[in-house]
Structure 1
C-alpha cells in the first residue's frame, strides 16, 4: 500500500490493545478487546488525531496559517483540530452547529476546552445550516485579510483523513500478531465516516479478511453505509489498491442510535456505568457509549457467534462526560449488579 503522503506525528507511541476480561466474562460471549485510541496524542485524545496527522500535514504543505472546521456543540473533532493548530503555531476558527443542543460558552467539556485552547473565532449556527458553505465564507474572510485558511472536513471524514485509520488497521494487525491473538471482528463508532472507512480499507487491502462493523451515532443505516463506502472508494485509490472493495464490506447498525446525534439512550448510560464499574474505562454519551451499547446488544443477539475475539475501537470523547455529569449520575447505578445477577 502506498502511504507516502505528508504526515505529522502527534502520537509517539502505539496505543494499547487490552483484553476487557471482566466485561467478557459478564457478557458470556466472545473475548472483548479494546484499542485505546482515547489515549492518542493532542489535547484529550481520540481518533481524530490519526486523521489530523495527514490533514494538518496537507495544510502546512499548502502554506495555511489558519485551520477552519466544524462540528456539534461538544465536538471532539473541533477540540482536537484546535489542539493541532496550537501545536503547529496556527490559528483556528470553528463553526459550531447546534444539533439537538444549544451552545453555552460557559459549558464544561469540549466547550470549555475551545476557550482554554484559544480558538480565534467560534461561530455558532443553527441545526441544519450548510456548514460547508459557512466554512467557505470564513475562508473568504481570511483571504480578504491576506491570510490563508485550510478547511478541515467535518470529523476529518474524507479520504485523506481516512489514511489515519488505514495506518491504524496496520498497527492493530501488528499488535495482535505480537500478542498472539487472532481478531475475528472490529467494532467502531460510525459518524463522519473517515475512521470506519479507513479501517475497512486498511483491513481489506491487507488481506486480513477481518470484518468491520460500525455502530451509527448520527444517521440511519442506508445513508451512513453509503457515506462510508464513498470514502472507501476514494481512500482505496489514494493507497493505489487496485482491487475493488465490495459494498458489502461496509456494514452499520442504527438500532443503537436512539432519537438522534448526541442524544443518549438508557442503553448508552448503562454501557457507560458498566465499563466504568467493571474495567475503569470511561466512555462518552455521544460515540463510545452508544457503540458499547451496540456491542452488548449484538453479543446478546448472538451476532458474534462462533467468533472468539472482538475488538472495540475506543475513539475517545472523554471530555464530553464532563458536560453531562448530572445526566449520567441520574441514571441507575444498579445496572452492573443487575447484570451480574442475571448471568
Structure 2
C-alpha cells in the first residue's frame, strides 16, 4: 500500500449518523512480532469504539442508521446468529438515536449451553431494550424480518430493515471510509503496509475496504481475508459483488477487478461459530503477549491465519502487516467453556 500523497474519499453526500468518536488507532504489536520472528504486525483497533461495547459494525451502522433516519424510520430490524455482534450494535445504535429495534436471531451455530444461549451479546441485546425474535437455525431470517416489517407498517410504523452483518452497499460505505482513514494514518505515521488482513463473515468489511481503495485509485490487492462464515468458493463471488455495488455507489464509472478479492478458508474449521484449536491458541497468545482480546468467531480465526502466515514465512521479515481487529469481546463470555 504505497502512494506518494494521501488520497481522500468524499462520502459527504450520503446520509450518516456519527457513532464513532473519531479515527480508531493503529498500534504496533512489538512483543508479538518479536516472538514470532517474522513480519511486523500492527492492529487497527476497531474494538476501541465506545458505543454498545464497541466493534467494527458501528462503521456500517453510521451509514445504515443515517439512511434510516433520512427516510423517517421509527423502527429498525436486523438479522443475525444468536450471538451476532451486528445485532447487538444495531440495538445500541438504535437506543442512541431513539429508534425502536427488533432483532431476528437464528440458532445457526450448534451450541446449546447456557452461556451461548443467554450470555454475551444476547444479554446486551436485552439491556439495549431490543425485541428479540428467537428462530431455529433453518429459518429464513431476512424473510421473517421483512414480514415483521410489513406487520409493523400496517400498524403505521416506518421500518428500516438491515441485512445480515449490515453488509448492504450502503453499509459497506463505512469500510470504504475506513480505507481512507487507514491511508491517512499510514501517511501520518510513515507506514507502508504490505498487507491488510481482515476476517470475512458477511463480506461487508472486505468489500468496503476494496471499494475504498479502488475509489481512491489505489491497488486493493494488498487486502486479504480469512473467511469465517462460508467456504471461499461461496464467499468470493458475494464479496466481489458487494465490492462492485459499493464502488459504483461512490462512482458509477468504477469497477472492481476479479483478482482484487483474496479469500483464504484455511481457518474456517467445521464452520461458522465453531471453535478450532488454532483459534483458541491464538486468542491465548494475543492475550498473554499483548494484553489484547480477540473474539472467538471472527478475529480469533482470522488472526490465527495471520500468525500462521508469519510463522511459516509467507509474511516474511521486513513486511508490515495490518490486522483489522473487529471487536466482538462479548462473544468471549458466550464461549466461556472453550477457554
TM-score, normalising length: structure 1: 0.92
Deviations 1:77-133 (A, max 9, x none): 0000000110111110110110123496972210110111111x2111111321111
Offset, 1:326: 2.8
Aligned to 1:192: 202
- 4+ residue runs over 6 A deviation: none
Offset, 1:301: 3.4
> Which of 17, 21, 25 lines up with 2:30 in the alignment?
21
Question: Does 1:138 pair with 2:148?
Answer: yes
Aligned to 2:286: 275
Offset, 1:29: 1.3
- Alignment partner of 1:248: what SS? helix
Offset, 1:243: 3.4
Unaligned runs of 5+ residues in structure 2 are 1-8
The 5-angstrom pairing of residues 231-250 of structure 1 reads 231-240=242-251, 242-250=253-261
User: What is the RMSD of the two structures over their aligned residues, measured on CA atoms?
Assistant: 1.5
CA distance in 1, matches of 2:85, 2:113: 15
Equivalenced residue count is 327
> Which of 202, 212, 215 lines up with 2:226 in the alignment?
215
The 5-angstrom pairing of residues 1-343 of structure 1 reads 1-3=9-11, 4-100=13-109, 101-102=111-112, 107-119=118-130, 121-210=131-220, 211-240=222-251, 242-305=253-316, 308-328=319-339
Aligned to 1:333: none
Q: Which moved more, 1:51-60 or 1:290-299?
A: 290-299
Deviations 1:242-285 (A, max 9, x none): 23221111011111001111111000000000000000000111
Unaligned runs of 5+ residues in structure 1 are 329-343
- Alignment partner of 1:38: what SS? coil
TM-score, normalising length: structure 2: 0.93
